[in-house]
Amino acid sequence: MVSAQVQATRAAPFALRVVQRQQGLAAIIYRRRVNDRMEERFDRVAALSPLALTAASGLLRAALKAAGGKAKLEPGPYQPLDADWGARVAGFAIVARGLREARRLSKSAEHFRAADATEAASWFGRMQDGRALRWVRALRIITEAVK
């Protein structure tokens, strides 16, 4: 019999997985998609470095709590995220990719935590199209991740 946690993860549109790296805890954000064989699978959206994970811990805990899980960030299996919070977390992960200034990452994470879910989903969709770099740069400026 499958546990409730596994069932919730299988039904979730997004998932978060915390992993242990040499530098510390990191996270990987996944989005549910249909593959070529018409099977639903989680595709990796982006990874959060240990620095970005620390900066976004409030955002991640709020997302896990909203999905009904425990808000503790520890290595382990996939943890489900609902569509609203999943778009926020995935958007932040894309924006945070390659950035190294903790104060700005923290400020950006706070903007994503306070963002409207529909707006976050809209930005996430834009960042997934062919012109992703332009949208990522724009969102980095808006969320104060860069100068």
Higher local confidence (pLDDT), 7 or 109: 109
> Phi and psi dihedrals of 39, rounded to 5?
-105, 140
Where do the DSSP E strands lie in the chain? 14-21, 24-34, 40-48, 79-81
Task: Please give the Cα distance from 38 to 74 (Å, whole number).
Answer: 32
pLDDT tens for each residue of 35-49 = 888 888 889 999 999
Range of lowest pLDDT (26-30, 107-111, 134-138): 134-138
Task: Please give the Cα distance from 99 to 29 (Å, whole number).
Answer: 17
Kindly state the percentage of the chain with pLDDT values over 90.
Answer: 67
Cα separation values, 89 from 3, 4, 13, Å: 25, 23, 12
Give one DSSP letter per residue of 76-95, joined into a string: -S-EEE-HHHHHHHHHHHHH
Where do the DSSP E strands lie in 49-144? 79-81
pTM of the predicted model as reported, rounded to 2 decimal places: 0.91
> Phi and psi dihedrals of 44, rounded to 5?
-70, 130
